[in-house]
Structure 1
Amino acid sequence: MVLVVGLAAVALATTLPAVSDSAAPGIELTGTIKGADGKPMEGVAVSAKAEGSPVTTSVWTNQNGAYAFPALEAGRYRVWAQAIGFSRPVAEAAVTPGRGVQQNFTLEPTAIIPRSLSTAEWMQSLPAETSLDRRMKIVVLNNCSNCHLPANWLEKRFDTASWETLLDYMEKIAPHGDVPENSAGDPPGRRPGGAEFPAGELDANGDPVSIHTKLMRFYRKDLIEYLTRVAGPKGLALQAKPFPRPTGVATEIVVTEYDLPFERPGGVGKLDPRTGKVSFLTVRDGKTMVQEVPVVGRNEYRSGSDWSWGTRDEHLERGTHDIAIGVNGNVYFGMNAMSADPARGYVWYSNGRQITSVDTRTDTITSHPGLRYPLSHGTQVDSRGNVWGSFGLGFVRLDVATGTIKEFNTITPFSRPYDLGVDRFDNAWVSQLALDRLSVVDGRTGEVKEVALPPFTSPDLRPEDLEILRTVGSWDHNAAPGQQGPRRMSADARGDYVWAGLYWAGGIAQIDARTKTFVKIHSVPELRWAQPYKPIADRNHMVWFSNSAADILGQLNPTTGKITLYPLPTRGTNSRHLAVDDTTGIPTVWVPYTGAGKMARVQFRFDTSKN
């Protein structure tokens, strides 16, 4: 608990310099990056962090190898450049506003360090010469990626007995619960849709067998053999296949990363992006209390800033899962199912059996009790001011004026309702993770409908894989091959489409909100193993999406179908949410890092509406 802090930490927290709002190139820190051959290198990440500051700013080199930071405050900065397969030079630079400092680097080629790869790069680097190899990559992603990113454990080595022990433990701790009380836990003894498994089989804890356990037992032998081969004591000589360095407009970005405090007093976090200061809002004796919490520097080897140190255990790093932007310009974080209501100045989130709001104009918390069950991962406000949420049975709608809560169940039970969005017609949508469907409540009539996605297909899937998909199915942490996995989603509040990230298949699903029909799936090869997560449309209808298994931010142009991938400068971000600030000249995207103790602001030096 953070109640008393040292004087030095307090001083740091109260004397932070202002952070520039502009992404425009400045003169304070510029330079060029060349290779050992003297040629300019495009797409190299260059980062700078001032002494005592919780803020890191990163830019990328253009086709001439040149980079330019935005305006920086005075201070002594640590500056480094990095690209996969090259050295990582570090320098110190004294910055004075209005005066230019040039810091050039030469990057020497090196052998690629496997642990410097993201999970998506690890997965595409695994053997794919045979149908068995390609099939097992799908099996690994669908069963061994949700609690820890595979990059975290693929860099390690275990023999057969050790892999057996690990899978034994995974089976014991696989989430299982009583839907809808615990919607992440799969329903004991049932498959998606509610059909019961044959009686008599128990899981490792003595409960009726569940979906997670069934899948792990079915693929256990194949997984142990495969993992021992690719990540055993001898292992394979990995043919590293990193993503290509960014080029063109993908380099025209500025990423500002804000360190978050590890020790937190509880409640809702609030980041002031102008200073990097962090506060927490809690309710005591019926009043909202605001407590500033210092951001104490962490061990740099656990920060993800040096890619060669690999991907950390996300459960140890205390990042943030969800975020929402207040009308005061601050970013709120740390709670579940967060969403912004800019028309009324609120941020909404779930808090046990309550739907809770923060009035971001006054930083006042108000709770609305009455939920029968906790929410899942989504909240959103419709045009009438009603707050919608997803939960284990489907949807809930809160009439804020009266406090009345109404439930709408999905047509098919036990479908793992996950995220929620509200379209411009006031229809509420929920992603049904276990069934590859989206459910929709008509905002005028209350009628519920389900929209099915096409199945994921691959020539490498075997008949037994399709049979296990039919007879066992999927849930939250494990999925049978053949599952698309619509996880987090949103609806374009100004447009005609609903979007869902396909966690297991690697793509973005597009649904027509007018006709309530499936349109298409957007994908690119790099997304196959990236686990696209939360998509959000900006005011120009550009769709931005996070990727939990790849340290990249995606942009989808729905008109042209073009997908652009922008790099993030931290390894192991495991981003599972997004927020878009439409009040800036060019929309700004905020990315929370679940797997690292930071959140990031991504700004653009070009008109993204024309990309």
Structure 2
Amino acid sequence: MLHFPFLKRRSSPRFVLAVFLCLSGASLHGLGPAQSSNSNSSDAILSGVVTSQVEGEMEGVLVTAKGVGASVAVTVVTNDGGRYAFPRSRLQPGPYRISIRAVGYDLEDPGTVEVRAGSTQNVNLRLRATLDLASQLSNVEWLLSVPGTEQQRNALGSCVGCHAIAFAVKSTHDTTAWRSVLHRMRNYSSPSFWLNPIKWPWEVPPRAGDADLAEYLSSINLSSGPDWKYELKTLPRPKGVSTRVIITEYDLPRRESQPHDASVAPDGMVWYSDFGLPYLGRLDPRTGEIKEWRIPVARAGSSEGSLDVKFDREGNPWVGLLLQRSVAKFDVKTETFETWAIPEEKASERSRAGMVAMGPDGKVWLKTSVDTYGAHLLDPSSGDITSYPLPLSFYGTDSNSKGDLYLASLSDGVIGELIAKTGEVAVYPTPTPRSGSRRGHVDEQDRFWFAEFFAHKIGMFDTTTKQFREWPIPTPWAGPYDAIRDSKGYVWSGGMHTDLIYRLNPVDGEVTEYLMPTLSPNFRNIDVDSSTDPVSVWLGANHQAKIIRVEPLE
């Protein structure tokens, strides 16, 4: 469990696995401009009003349409009059199933809805109070609900690395059982999740304090009876600008997929890594087609998952092979892989090397952390790797226009700088101590935007002036994981604890939050495609085997 204190080898074609998804009845995935999703627009192909007996017309209800038998779902959000509307460009004619997300409510099933070309189908939706509120709570809502000290709830919050908090609070383990469970959980590696547990190749002993943690966990679950002894608390539904959004979800072909990173290539294709299994995938947003390739093993005996995805000047994806301490390049023309391993003397069995950063000269930065601390500059043309020692453990990385490397330290709350020409390393503490700087991206002005996971803030480090700025995210336990700036100046982030995507306006500090339709998606990396109108924000739902596209309409 993770601490959460705040609140050269070429592969042959036999490694290729191609998966094509049948998209009968699916959306058009963004062909054409996005229109209003919650107005009385005559361009709507499916619209209606959402009401309940308690509230009448309901704002902030997420309404999802998914073609029968399809793998793509489109979601819009109701406005202050309770109206939802799907633009005509987003749904093809055919049968659809409708679902909603509105905590505290269930949908009275309208049955299969037939969408017809050339007309607007009006379907009013009626909601009723749910009889199972617990099944609707997000991780952050469980953290708001459970009693306990900050330290105790931090420990509970760390469960989200592998599974939703609901698994813990719905369990019936007593204190003795929890001690055994905690020991078993600590022996699963970081790429594990509930559908694909992966053990460390070494034994991890119990931690000091596990007995107390076991006692606490047994006091907040269902070990003493069928009901929780505390009130279940919820966050408010979206309103105002937060309802002006279209969300498209693409189901991946393997339910055990963990799309840790979803990154946009220069040609608009979206490539994703798999945190636990050796696959690299590609989504074509224009057609919805998904294709996957199996990544060859670079180091036998190591966990085969991957993490960071970046692109070289030819548009080829490079992916960091986390526990294999290697990097793989995929040639999009030949559909073959080439791998490079960090030298054995520069990385131990326990080192991790999941991050990749591309230099302007075609060289590629790699990084080792956890057991050995180093940055490694690969020249793909020769295979030479130049290594530089680092003073501490860093996580996320990116490079600026000069090829200098910038690093975020989750454990120490600092930003590191490595000058490519000299090898000089400097460390700059964030204004908020132990902020948990996690991952980030350098923008076109050479500013490093990063997420402060523990401080629940978005940070910016100007690589020229060496000055910082920070902006808080208002939702408790926001836990932002990554940050990136779009062409309009907004900065985007998401995280593992909330089901929200955050949009920061750095000019006035305003944060707009967009609720996602799927419970507990577990967001990590975030990327933006500023070439589309509106901007497309892309994320992998790491625990739900989905790629998600978010399009803000204002």
Q: How far has the Cα of 1:49 moved from its partner?
A: 0.6
Per the TM alignment, residue 81 of structure 1 is displaced from its structure 2 partner at its CA by 2.6
Give 2:544's aligned amino acid.
A
Q: Are the equivalent residues in 2 in contact too, given 1:395–1:430 (CA < 8 A)?
A: no
Q: SS where residue 121 of structure 1 aligns? A: helix
Deviation at 1:3, TM superposition (A): 9.9
Once the two structures are superposed, residues 382-406 of structure 1 have per-residue CA deviations (whole angstroms, 9 ceiling, x without a partner) of: 2222222222223222223433322
**CA-CA distance at 1:241 after TM superposition:** 2.3
Q: Secondary structure at the match of 1:165?
A: helix
C-alpha separation in 2, matches of 1:403 and 1:445: 20
Q: 1:280 aligns with which of 292, 300, 307?
A: 292
2:387 maps to a residue whose letter is E
| Residue type of the alignment partner of 1:540 | K
Whichever residue aligns with residue 457 of structure 2, its letter is G
Which of 280, 301, 309 lines up with 1:338 in the alignment?
309
1:94 corresponds in structure 2 to 114
Structure-2 residue corresponding to 1:390 = 367
CA shift, 1:163, in A, is 1.7
Tell me what 1:192 maps to.
none
- 1:369 matched residue in structure 2: 340
**Partner of 1:115 in structure 2?**
135
Distance 1:49 1:93 in 2: 10
Q: Is the aligned partner of 1:126 residue 2:117?
A: no
CA contact (8 A) 1:432 1:487 kept: yes
Residues 119 and 530 of structure 1 are in contact (CA less than 8 Å); yes or no, is this contact kept in structure 2?
Answer: no
1:354 to partner: Cα distance = 4.3
1:133-185 per-residue CA deviation (whole Å, 9 max, x = no partner) reads 3342234335x443323233223232222222222323444779xxxxxxx98
Q: TM-score, normalised by structure 1?
A: 0.72
Q: Structure 2 vs 1, CA of residues 259 and 11 (structure 1 numbering), >3 Å: closer, same or farther?
A: closer
Pick from 318, 336, 342 the counterpart of residue 348 of structure 1.
318
Q: 1: distance between equivalents of 2:403 and 2:212?
A: 47
1:496, CA displacement in angstroms? 4.4
State the alpha-carbon separation in 2 of the partners of residues 402 and 135 from structure 1: 50
Shift of 1:348: 1.6
Q: Per-residue displacement from partner, 1:430-467 (whole Å, max 9, x unpaired)?
A: 222222222211234321111223565xxxxxxxxxxx
Change (3 A) 1:52 1:79: same
Residues 595 and 370 of structure 1: CA distance in aligned 2, closer, same or farther (over 3 Å):
closer
Structure 2: which 5+ residue stretches go unaligned? Answer: 1-13, 37-42, 192-198, 258-276, 297-303
CA contact (8 A) 1:47 1:79 kept: yes
Partner of 1:156: helix, strand, or coil?
coil
- TM-score w.r.t. structure 2 length? 0.79
| Matched residue SS, 1:84 | coil
Partner of 2:456: 506
Decide which of 22, 25, 29 is 1:19's aligned counterpart: 29
Question: Aligned to 1:98, what secondary structure does the other structure show?
Answer: coil
- Percent same amino acid at aligned positions? 27
Shift of 1:124: 1.3
Q: Which residue of 1 aligns with 2:248?
A: 256
Classify the secondary structure of the residue corresponding to 2:58.
Answer: coil
Match of 2:74 in 1: 57
**Relative to 1, partners in 2 of residues 1:429 and 1:11: Cα closer, same or farther, differing over 3 Å?**
closer
Q: Which has the higher helix share?
A: 1
Among 211, 233, 251, which residue is 2:224 paired with? 233
RMSD of equivalent CA atoms: 3.3
CA distance in 2, matches of 1:20, 1:12: 17
Q: Does 1:541 align with 2:553?
A: no
Structure 2 CA distance for partners of 1:17 and 1:438, relative to 1, 3 Å: closer
Query: Matched residues in 2 for 1:256 and 1:241: separation?
Result: 28
Indicate conservation of the 8 Å contact 1:19/1:73, yes or no. Answer: no
- Call closer, same or farther: CA 1:17–1:515 in 2, change over 3 Å: closer
Contact 2:15 2:295 in 1 (8 A): no
Distance 1:278 1:569, change over 3 A: same
Distance 2:537 2:16 in 1: 32
1:486 pairs with 2:458: no
Contact 1:368–1:403 (CA under 8 A) maintained in structure 2: no
Deviates more, 1:540-549 or 1:588-597: 540-549
Q: Could you tell me how far 1:355 is from its partner in structure 2?
A: 2.9
Q: Which runs of 5+ in 1 are unaligned?
A: 177-183, 187-203, 285-320, 322-333, 457-482, 607-611
Counterpart residue identity of residue 290, structure 2: V
CA distance in 1, matches of 2:120, 2:131: 34
Query: Is contact 2:504-2:510 (8 Å) kept?
Result: yes
Q: Secondary structure at the match of 2:168?
A: helix
SS in 2 for 1:377: coil
